[in-house]
Structure 1
Amino acid sequence: MAYYRQLGKIPKTRHTLFRADSGAIYYEELMGEEGFSSDSSLLYHRNIPSALVGAREWELPDQSLTANAPLLPRHLKLHGLFTDDQARTVDAVTGRRLVLGNGDVRINYAWVGQTSPLYRNSTGDECVYVEDGSAVVETVFGALPVAKGDYVIIPRATTHRWVVQDGEVAKLYFIEANSHIGPAKQYLSKHGQLLEHAPYCERDLRGPQEPLLAEGQNVDVYIKHRGHGPNGLAGTIHLLPEHPFDVVGWDGCLYPYVFNINDFMPITGKVHQPPPVHQVFEGANFVVCNFVPRKVDYHPDSVPVPYYHSNVDSDEIMFYVDGDYEARKGSGINKGSISIHPGGHAHGPQPGAVEASLGMEYFNELAVMVDTFRPLDLGEAAVKSDDGQYASSWTGGRWNND
């Protein structure tokens, strides 16, 4: 997020000798994007950040993908993948399950009741939506308390862990990029400030408030990185001689932050507005939108639910979080559902939804949408949770495979 912040102790001049009161040297680390050509921060460590004393392979959770063939719209019931009892043994790093993926983005899901190991995703930024529950995301930049409705943006290669209190269960929706994730470019000035027409602003974003220091020796950090495994991914566990949470201060424009979906100001109009007005973040070849409770169209002949549309260039993935979904009445979709509307298939409201929406003035719905510009394949969690019936929901159950 390209606006400057400073936490903790830093020297007056960058790239100069910086000592503790004891005389010990603090070690400066530049964490920067795009080869010194984009946003960066300077972190000051008590220990050498490159130090390693061991390494071993980490077998990632199942990363296999299956083609969406034959091409179909699909309904996934994610809440059937976990139970509360199962969640108490699951953590947000080793327990996330792959739902959908392509070369640009992977969508994972998990119910977690265990604190995760320390983790670093070196393939891209992560945008994690907290569907329910609460946790603390501890990072080298500081801690971020998160709860229901929060998006957490975690820059690539940020060492962090998800801390869950005993007895709590957090339901997490992971959007893992192979790129960086940030606000939509149409909301930003040429210098990176969120503009007046943007549906949120910098004061809505929460960053770490103070450095997070921890002690410990021989500490494991789980790393997801590029390799020769499924999806071009591999895993390694680095053994560090000292705990990586040793940053006494940092400054810059690159750091993790939180945005709550309830602070999004929906853009509405006289007639139905297209999905880009709901955009909140973007990465390379995908966008993230959210649909929040809002007043709807006020033209006297308006049709509040969406018109039928063809995703000529993208797959549309809608995660239904809360409320009532007027356009999907009769489809079986409910809280915890994902609808997959692939490119090549015209989709829109289920039968009767247009008529039922006429005269409505307000929609009470909450959903997170990811649109991708390359086709998505099905992860093991999608195969497991597919209801197998959604494609026939526009025709009253009639289906012919011949």
Structure 2
Amino acid sequence: MPIQSRTLMQLNQGATPQQAHRNLTPGHKEEELTRQGFDGRSTVFYRHGDPTKYRSTGRFRSTSVDGNTLATGDLTSPDGLPQRLYFNADCTIWLSRRAESMPWFRRNVDGDECWFVHQGSGTVETEYGNIPFAAGDYVYLPKGATHRWLIDQGVFLLGVETRDELQVPTYAGLGRHAPFDTDLIRTPQFKPPVLKKGEFEVKVKYDQEYSSLIFASHPFDAYGWKGDLFPFAFNIEDWNVLMSDSLHIPPTMAVFMCTETVNIINLLPRPLERKPGTERVPWYHRNADYDEVHLMHGGRKQGTSLQTGRIDHDPQGINHGVSEEDRQTSRNEWDSVDYTDWSVIMIETKNPVRLDPDVPADIVA
């Protein structure tokens, strides 16, 4: 989420509204082509036709995966592993539907991990202490941290693994408590050291493969720690949504954690814009520099319940956006609907991602 200087040079050709995303001519469609997500230079086109009405051939297409029907390895066996969904050299997006607790400990030295809890509850045991989790939580695990997942209720987790270090961005000009107050992150609950002796297996993910280290001492035998590298949890209910009465705020202002090439973004319930003529739903869009992956966590879109557990992928540069029918519904409901309650977790990747070939074709749309 880099901070960029803003150019004041802007051209207009043909018939355009005086201000973008407001007071569209009836029947016209607005589509934006952007660089650097929503942070860079952009062009807004005003069209007669719906830019999302097309047929595609080849790999360049949007896809959807029904996570509710994907039988991951950790769903069918406690020794199993999550299912890789999308991947590139910078990051991997995983689905875990673990039904039982891990019988071993785990350490990832390939990268940082951030897991979003779509369903289920339990505790992540770590060498720092314990982190209870439930639906709506993020659980951040730094590279190299030994841990294991203990399951109370079967989980549905969407995980982002990044080669580079995940960090909370600097929200320039917003102060220390927006869009979230870091006092609300939940740090590990330190526990007395476990002094058992025996054989304790730690499965280590290294260079995309697993090996095992067998320790004679329990991995959680630390009697103390200090530092600024530690796991934590954060619930989306504690996120402060930024909004405007007169402009639909783009996802850039809702980044939770990021690297130079990956953004993890919250799209959460909020009051709708109130200034007449303002477009209340995201405009048609071609994000030229980021692939977008979305998890439908819950809520409704224009009165229609989201298909929770669905995971969508829109490659960079493809035409996508809310349907014209939903846009018109939004305009028609101006006086009767003043709030949107959808919850969507969005992952942007600067480099294209591929769908794992092991994902069954019958659950991919």
Identify the TM-score tier after normalising by the shorter chain. Answer: 0.7 to 0.9
CA distance in 2, matches of 1:343, 1:386: 22
CA distance in 1, matches of 2:170, 2:156: 29
Unpaired stretches in structure 2, ≥5 consecutive residues: 1-56
In the TM superposition, what whole-angstrom CA distance separates every residue of 1:71-105 from its partner, at most 9, and x where no partner exists?
1011211111139xx976444x7320011000111
1:199 correspondence with 2:179: yes
Structure 2 counterpart of 1:146, one-letter code: F
Structure 2 counterpart of 1:106, one-letter code: T
Structure 1 counterpart of 2:345, one-letter code: V
Structure 2 counterpart of 1:77, one-letter code: D
What is the number of equivalent residue pairs in this alignment?
302
CA distance in 1, matches of 2:343, 2:362: 21
Question: 8 Å contact 1:140–1:212 — kept in the other structure?
Answer: no
CA distance in 2, matches of 1:81, 1:128: 17
Question: 8 Å contact 1:137–1:144 — kept in the other structure?
Answer: yes
Partner residue, 2:24: none
Per the TM alignment, residue 275 of structure 1 is displaced from its structure 2 partner at its CA by: 1.0
Question: 8 Å contact 2:121–2:135 — kept in the other structure?
Answer: yes
1:350 correspondence with 2:323: yes
Partner residue, 1:178: 163
Partner residue, 1:316: 292
Partner residue, 1:114: 100
1:97 correspondence with 2:74: no
Question: 8 Å contact 2:300–2:306 — kept in the other structure?
Answer: no
Per the TM alignment, residue 175 of structure 1 is displaced from its structure 2 partner at its CA by: 0.8
CA distance in 2, matches of 1:151, 1:339: 19
Partner residue, 1:277: 253
Per the TM alignment, residue 365 of structure 1 is displaced from its structure 2 partner at its CA by: 0.6
1:144 correspondence with 2:131: yes
CA distance in 2, matches of 1:323, 1:387: 22
Question: 8 Å contact 1:195–1:201 — kept in the other structure?
Answer: no
Residue 299 of structure 1 is aligned with which of 261, 267, 275?
Answer: 275
Unpaired stretches in structure 1, ≥5 consecutive residues: 1-67, 189-193, 227-232, 389-402
In the TM superposition, what whole-angstrom CA distance separates every residue of 1:274-312 from its partner, at most 9, and x where no partner exists?
111121111230100011111121221112110011110
Structure 2 counterpart of 1:138, one-letter code: E
Matches within 5 A, 1:154-173: 154-165=141-152, 168-173=153-158
Partner residue, 1:223: 204
In the TM superposition, what whole-angstrom CA distance separates every residue of 1:39-87 from its partner, at most 9, and x where no partner exists?
xxxxxxxxxxxxxxxxxxxxxxxxxxxxx9421011211111139xx97
Partner residue, 2:224: 249
3-state SS, counterpart of residue 277 of structure 1: helix
In the TM superposition, what whole-angstrom CA distance separates every residue of 1:173-196 from its partner, at most 9, and x where no partner exists?
1111112112123369xxxxx933
CA distance in 1, matches of 2:108, 2:75: 23
Question: 8 Å contact 1:311–1:343 — kept in the other structure?
Answer: yes
Question: 8 Å contact 1:75–1:333 — kept in the other structure?
Answer: no
In the TM superposition, what whole-angstrom CA distance separates every residue of 1:171-230 from its partner, at most 9, and x where no partner exists?
111111112112123369xxxxx933621012110101223522242111001112xxxx
Question: 8 Å contact 1:77–1:385 — kept in the other structure?
Answer: no
Question: 8 Å contact 1:139–1:160 — kept in the other structure?
Answer: yes
Residue 113 of structure 2 is aligned with which of 105, 113, 126?
Answer: 126
In the TM superposition, what whole-angstrom CA distance separates every residue of 1:325-353 from its partner, at most 9, and x where no partner exists?
349x6xx9610111111112121112301
Residue 371 of structure 1 is aligned with which of 348, 351, 365?
Answer: 348
Question: 8 Å contact 2:74–2:99 — kept in the other structure?
Answer: yes
Partner residue, 1:75: 64
Sequence identity, in percent? 27
Deviating more after overlay: 260-269 vs 276-285: 276-285
Question: 8 Å contact 2:268–2:342 — kept in the other structure?
Answer: yes
In the TM superposition, what whole-angstrom CA distance separates every residue of 1:21-50 from its partner, at most 9, and x where no partner exists?
xxxxxxxxxxxxxxxxxxxxxxxxxxxxxx
Question: 8 Å contact 1:81–1:381 — kept in the other structure?
Answer: no
1:334 correspondence with 2:307: yes
Matches within 5 A, 1:16-27: none
Question: 8 Å contact 2:298–2:343 — kept in the other structure?
Answer: yes
Partner residue, 1:46: none
Question: 8 Å contact 1:141–1:212 — kept in the other structure?
Answer: no
Q: TM-score, normalised by structure 2?
A: 0.77
Residue 301 of structure 2 is aligned with which of 318, 325, 337?
Answer: 325
Partner residue, 2:46: none
Per the TM alignment, residue 386 of structure 1 is displaced from its structure 2 partner at its CA by: 4.5
CA distance in 2, matches of 1:249, 1:181: 24
CA distance in 1, matches of 2:128, 2:190: 8
Alpha-carbon RMSD across the aligned residues, in angstroms, is 2.3
Matches within 5 A, 1:384-395: 384=361, 386-388=363-365
